Structure 1
Amino acid sequence: MKKFLPFLSLWVFVGVYGQENTLSYASPSEVGMDSIYIHAKVDSIITNGIKNKAFPSAQVLVAKNSKIIFHKAYGYHTYDSIQPAALNDLYDLASVTKIFGPLPALMKLVDEGKLDLDQPFSTYWKPWRTTKDKKDITFREILAHQAGLEPYIVFLNAVLKKNGQVKKRFVKSTAKNRFTHQAYDGLFIKDRFNKKMYRTINRSKVLDEKKYLYSGLTFLIFPELITQLTGEDYETYLQNTFYTPLGISTIGFRPKLKNLPNAIVPTEIDTLFRHDVTQAWVHDENAALLGGVSGNAGLFGTAMDAALMMQFYINFGTYANQQLLATNTVKEFTKVQYPENNNRRGLGFDKPYLNNTTLALVDAYPAPEVSADSFGHSGFTGTFVWADPENQLVYIFLSNRVYPSRDHRNIYNLNIRAAIQQVFYKAIKASDQAN
């Protein structure tokens, strides 16, 4: 086997006896899929990806009919080929945080009648009530990226001087009074810097025309809003309301501060802010400036725990006989909201292109075979999670494609994530034809 491509697989039963819809391991043949075909195809795509430096490590997990039929770790943490990737490694989930962090909390608030999707966001976020171009924007429009908000604001620009040094009024090298939000080893952000971020977002421009434009700005606000509406700390609320009941043990913020046994895969060699290999601290600079706890990024987790979250969604709010979210709420959030505006998005969730089934793999998003009911999200660090209720398929892809630099874009150029996803749909199709 090539030196750059060790892989690990594991076949153990992890389901809970007597509980429905829990994940357990099985072979592809047990769900009527060709194991040899799947392993050969996926191994080939990943091998090519590592060879072309799309990422140094990757992990693929697929569940069909609540059975994990594929789970492998590939490559090494970095291109020096020292530490092999392992099945329980933690990855920076990047924007997958949006659907694993604030989104389930917002769905719960809708369930409880504390949040109305068709009310203006200003109903819940007071600063927007006096902002002419924002006061009437609804929560639904925001979550569907139909509000016309700016896509992204680089808050790091407010922290760095022209010579690249940090401004000491915002960043200290040790924890001090009013500087307790840790962004990295030796980087502590002013506790009230979040207020500066909120003010900048509140004053940001809005498009005159209502059309699809992806924006993560309000996801920086959501943790504060969720805390206000629940009366509980955002991080604690997620843990108590979702992660603990689902049996999720690794998904969380700031893993460096936790005593987890898992190895943590490095992301980028940061030459701008942290001047070090970004590892065990969130890669996204905006989330880092919030102390690593945010709604746009910040969560780390294993492929197994990511699969638990997506299985929870594919079951429309139920897992292990626990109904944590109302079925109708999950269905509403995972459906296309504004197709008439050529907007494919659900509420927070990403969706396939509206004409996806008519496209070739190279043009589709994600694989053209996914059902119109499917949903998920991608992450900047090279992560991707997708659930397909019609085909009862959960697909998890984790990688650190930004190592050593975010300029590495072959994960996109080679269309690796969709190509791997397609392998499993073709295996399902071949099985159906054989029967």
Structure 2
Amino acid sequence: MLLLGVAMTIGVSVKGEISILTSIMIRQTEEMEMKRNEWNEIDGIMQQAVEKGVIPGGVVLVARNGMIAKVRAYGWAARYRDARKTPLTQAVQATTNTVYDVASLTKLFTATAVMRLVEQGRISLDDPVGRYLSDFTSEGKESITVRYLLSHTSGLPANLPLFQNSGLPEKRMRVAMGTKPVATPGTLYIYSDIGYMVLGELVHRVSGKYLDQFMQEKILLPLSMSSTGFRPPDTWKARIAPTEEQIVPSRGLVWGEVHDENAWALGGVAGHAGLFSTVGDLARFGQMFLNEGSLGGVRVLHPSSVREMFRLQTSTIPHVNRGLGWELHQPGYMGEHTDGKRAGHTGFTGTSIVLDREDGWMLILLTNRVHPTREGPAIAIVRKRLANAVEKTIQ
């Protein structure tokens, strides 16, 4: 078992053998060694997903009480050159160091950034957003609070084709800021990318730093997440898993740039999508939340902020279970016996994270299931089977 220590970066060779790439604390017990074979069900689920074309490949990590019980890569990180599935001259195998576009998992980081500003007293969750953003005060948005944006109850629409608007990213952000609500704030759940774009802009204007800079200084650096960020540098290209060949907008095979069209139109940095990361880095982020806001002696959030993010914010809206940033109690990808102590999130590119705060375990799945096209088999059943396998083995 590998303990999530201060500087965790681990890799898996093509033979599945764990190699230590940087300093990491290691703890093994005979009991854990005996239980190693109990995790083999995960291998079967992932190998089947690759064989059936649900994903080209991916990485799974399971940890409990700060120790990694399972981490392994499967299949391919890069396999095709276009949507017709023309093979690359040389396919690239997935490893645990592969960098994936995590899509909407970005929202968890944006929510964390907002909570940092709340703790500093620079934002209040129940203030109207217009108090901080003067251009977010018309078109029925006067009663939209920061809490409503974080819990997807602002009434803003799910999305807009911002990539179809000409001009600079700043102009496109103004279009997002001017969006009219389609429901009375606080009365309806609408999963809104637009709402999280606004939150990213909120972080920018209140802190005086662009969202990527603020996250780097307040979240990524403190957690030693050195393989996570927006707009990855060219030096990462060999490690990045490509996504799809995009026709509209015409971008070709998207590789090294954000997959989400609107995040791309906003310059690659947005509150709703745009982050790239590895399974090891995301494990550090998840463990910070399981530790109520700290990791390796570094505090990112106060425990009360973590508890508020995990608290049900949508009790007045039937059958909706949202915290602040986090989704709650979803058997479809968190395990069939979720007992109200699980939180998680999914990403369109084929990513997900699940935290069980009662039993202290974490499940992370990173894939590029949209490679080379989003028109493949659904990944939902893979997420569900993995969570059920973890749940069964943990118990």
2:285 corresponds in structure 1 to 309
2:230–2:275: 8 Å Cα contact kept in structure 1?
Answer: yes
Give deviations 1:277-297, integer Å, cap 9, x for gaps.
Answer: 101100001000111111111
Among 272, 285, 288, which residue is 2:248 paired with? Answer: 272
Q: Alpha-carbon deviation of 1:12?
A: 4.2
Q: Alpha-carbon deviation of 1:15?
A: 7.0
Question: 1 CA distance for matches of 2:129 and 2:200?
Answer: 14
Q: Alpha-carbon deviation of 1:119?
A: 1.2
Q: Matches of residues 383-394 of structure 1 in structure 2 within 5 Å?
A: 383-394=351-362
2:37 corresponds in structure 1 to 36
1:21 corresponds in structure 2 to none
1:155 to 2:162 alignment? yes
Q: Alpha-carbon deviation of 1:47?
A: 1.5
2:46 corresponds in structure 1 to 46
Q: Alpha-carbon deviation of 1:409?
A: 3.1
Which TM-score applies when normalising by structure 2?
0.88
Give deviations 1:201-246, integer Å, cap 9, x for gaps.
Answer: 4232321471111111022123332122112232222112121111
2:344 corresponds in structure 1 to 376
When structure 1 is superposed on structure 2, of 61-70 and 273-282 the one drifting more is 273-282
Aligned partner letter, 1:127? D
2:84 corresponds in structure 1 to none
1:93 corresponds in structure 2 to 102
Rg (Cα) greater in structure: 1
1:283 to 2:283 alignment? no
Give unmatched runs, 5+ long, in structure 1: 1-5, 17-23, 160-169, 171-189, 357-363, 430-435
Q: Matches of residues 177-256 of structure 1 in structure 2 within 5 Å?
A: 190=168, 193-208=169-184, 210-255=187-232
1:371–1:388: 8 Å Cα contact kept in structure 2?
Answer: no
1:198–1:221: 8 Å Cα contact kept in structure 2?
Answer: no
Q: Alpha-carbon deviation of 1:139?
A: 1.3
Q: Matches of residues 349-428 of structure 1 in structure 2 within 5 Å?
A: 349-353=326-330, 356=331, 364-412=332-380, 415-428=381-394
When the two chains are superposed, the root-mean-square deviation of aligned CA atoms in Å is 2.3
Question: 2 CA distance for matches of 1:33 and 1:204?
Answer: 58
Give the direction of change, closer, same or farther, for the CA distance of 1:420–1:334 in structure 2 (3 Å limit).
same
Give the direction of change, closer, same or farther, for the CA distance of 1:233–1:158 in structure 2 (3 Å limit).
closer
Give the direction of change, closer, same or farther, for the CA distance of 1:385–1:277 in structure 2 (3 Å limit).
same
1:328 to 2:292 alignment? no
* Equivalent pairs, count: 372
1:8 corresponds in structure 2 to 16
Aligned partner letter, 2:152? H
Give the direction of change, closer, same or farther, for the CA distance of 1:32–1:206 in structure 2 (3 Å limit).
farther
Aligned partner letter, 1:251? T
Aligned partner letter, 2:305? T
Give the direction of change, closer, same or farther, for the CA distance of 1:242–1:258 in structure 2 (3 Å limit).
farther
Question: 1 CA distance for matches of 2:175 and 2:160?
Answer: 12
Provide the identity percentage: 30
Give unmatched runs, 5+ long, in structure 2: 1-13, 81-86
Q: Secondary structure at the match of 2:327?
A: coil
Q: Secondary structure at the match of 1:69?
A: strand
Q: Matches of residues 333-352 of structure 1 in structure 2 within 5 Å?
A: 333-342=309-318, 343-352=320-329
Superposition misfits of 4+ residues, deviation over 3 angstroms: 11-16, 24-33
Give deviations 1:16-69, integer Å, cap 9, x for gaps.
Answer: 6xxxxxxx5556965588321212x11111121111111101100111110011
1:119 to 2:120 alignment? no
1:296 to 2:272 alignment? yes
Aligned partner letter, 1:235? D
Question: 2 CA distance for matches of 1:222 and 1:119?
Answer: 13
Give the direction of change, closer, same or farther, for the CA distance of 1:340–1:74 in structure 2 (3 Å limit).
same
Give the direction of change, closer, same or farther, for the CA distance of 1:28–1:119 in structure 2 (3 Å limit).
farther
Question: 2 CA distance for matches of 1:294 and 1:57?
Answer: 26
1:26–1:68: 8 Å Cα contact kept in structure 2?
Answer: no
Q: Alpha-carbon deviation of 1:146?
A: 1.5
Aligned partner letter, 1:344? N
